[in-house]
Amino acid sequence: RPCRRGPDGPRRRDRGRRRPPAARRGTARGTGIGDVLPSVAGALAGAVVLYLLAAKAVQVPAPAGVGVEDGEGGWNRRGFLVAAGVTAVAATSAGALGRYFGGRQGQGAVASRESLVLPEPASPAPAVPAGVQLKVPGITAFTTPNADFYRVDTALTVPKVDAGTWRLRIHGKGVTRPRTYTLDQLLARPLIERDITLTCVSNEVGGPYIGNARWLGVPLADLLKEAGVIPPSRGGKADQLVARSVDGMTLGSPVEDVMDGRDAMLAIGMNGEPLPFDHGFPVRMLVPGLYGYVSACKWIEDIELTTFDAYDPYWVKRKWARRAPIKTQSRIDTPKPFARPTAGTVTVAGVAWAQHRGITRVQIRVDDGPWQDADLAAQAGVDTWRQWSYRWNATPGGHNITVRATDGTGQTQTEQRTRTIPDGASGRHSVFVTVT
């Protein structure tokens, strides 16, 4: 799949991705249950009309006489007018119904978001070292503004959930104390704030489906412990946590990962504001180190403890991997492909990520030359991406620049190219430039 970029280079908002954990960017402002209503009403009206038209079309030789002007199965004037009238009434009321419910639902959600005041975190994000952001023109910002954060989901219209009526249920295998939470109950708990980089498994090498934000949320492991859940390594019966959203999406995460001490959370805040509707308001899940389709359920409303043997969530049914830790990757942000820099010192720079393992080294190779160490920006933590830069003494002519990263376990990003399906693209990003 081609990565879609804005006309002016740096990734703008990426709308609509189709595959994997794929998706589609909705255009309508839509809904909770109210947002299905317009289409349900529309479908009903359509069905009624189709039924009438079909009835007319197959109408067999009309009984002789009585006011039938045209031939077999055709429309007579009165039949047509009646059908048209019914169509008009059905269409109009479908629209009104849709506006009534859709509008009410949407307004309640918008109001509930606007009135939501995020509490201070009990555990604030560790201070981000000043050096995480390099001063290189063209490099991706360390923190992705909400308006620029990539969006990947299957929602035709973005669910608009009213925070006041929202509930989260936790239940299933090994849950000795099933519970249902309101948003206020979650907000009253000690919250953590963390910088976490989220990545989509459908991101091609060098692609844009990655973003880093400061999230505020409830530690998920604590909720699970309260519910009586025990991780599989200590004898727990459930090894898969299935998160379900208000729009019926299902995502499965390993219980072990969620409970191993990493900052898995139910996020409520994103970069200092309530989650945007696009990114899961009022609550979404996040598990550092796992691709979004196995961890980052937006508009979450249900958490079920089960096993990988017993249940395959949405994308797994469609041939994506059951377990999908994020692969060590790196991307050259500048220079852009086919740029024409002038000979001399050219700064090559970008980001590298291996969430929950961290990045310890980034190297650059020009054409078939030796691998050279790039300078690493400060590391905010193992769960975020890390910027890097390399001062290249560029000589005239065409050159291919390639990057590779090494993660905290000592693994260097493989050269082996794979497709995104089933568990994420591997391979190295390179950029061709002509030095003038």
Ligand X SMILES: Nc1nc2c(c(=O)[nH]1)N[C@H]1C(S)=C(S)[C@@H](COP(=O)(O)O)O[C@H]1N2
Write the single-letter amino acid at 67.
G
Return the structure tokens found at 4.
């879609």
Which of these segments, 28-36, 144-152, 224-232, 392-400, binds Mo ion (CB under 5 A)? Answer: 144-152
| 153 contact choice in Mo ion, ligand X, none (CB below 5 to 8 Å, kind-dependent) | ligand X
* Binding of residue 32 to Mo ion (CB under 5 A): no
User: Minimum CB separation from Mo ion for residue 411, in Å?
Assistant: 22
How far apart are alpha carbons 368 and 371 in whole angstroms? 9
- Shortest distance, CB of residue 102 to ligand X, whole angstroms? 19
Distances (CA, A) of 303 to 150, 171, 284: 25, 6, 11
- The answer to whether the CB of 109 falls within 8 A of the CB of 102 is no
Find the shortest distance in angstroms from Cβ 386 to ligand X. 20
Kindly state the smallest distance separating residue 32's Cβ from ligand X, in Å.
13
- DSSP letter, residue 325: B
Binding mask 290-319 for Mo ion (x = CB under 5 A): --xx--------------------------
For residue 298, the minimal CB distance to ligand X (Å) is 4
- Give the binding-site size for Mo ion (rule: CB under 5 A): 5
Binding at 297: pick from ligand X, Mo ion, none (beta carbon under 5-8 Å per type): ligand X
Q: Which residue, 21 or 106, has its beta carbon nearer to ligand X?
A: 21
Q: How far apart are CA 143 and CA 271, in angstroms?
A: 8
Residues 196 to 255 in contact with Mo ion, rule: CB under 5 A: 200
**Closest-CA residue to 406 (of 367, 374, 370):** 374
Please tell me the distance from the alpha carbon of residue 203 to that of residue 20, in angstroms, as a whole number: 9
Query: What is the Cα–Cα distance from 241 to 176, expressed in whole angstroms?
Result: 15
Residues that bind ligand X (CB under 6 A): 21, 23, 149-154, 198, 200, 245, 247, 249, 279, 292-293, 296-299
Instruction: Determine the Cα–Cα distance for residues 219 and 238; give it in Å rounded to an integer.
Output: 19
- Window of 133-141, 286-294, 298-306, 373-381 that interacts with Mo ion by CB under 5 A: 286-294
Q: Which is nearer to Mo ion, 215 or 388 (CB)?
A: 215
Which one, 208 or 335, has the nearer CB to Mo ion?
208
Rg (the chain; Cα; Å): 27
Binding mask 166-205 for Mo ion (x = CB under 5 A): ----------------------------------x-----
CA distance 283 to 114: 15
Tokens of 222: 């604590």
Q: Which does 277 bind (CB under 5 to 8 A by kind): ligand X, Mo ion, none?
A: none
Binding Mo ion by CB under 5 A: which of 21, 208, 288, 335?
21
CA dihedral 192, 193, 194, 198 (to 10 degrees): 100
Q: How far apart are CA 352 and CA 5, in angstroms?
A: 19
Q: Contact residues for Mo ion (CB under 5 A)?
A: 21, 152, 200, 292-293
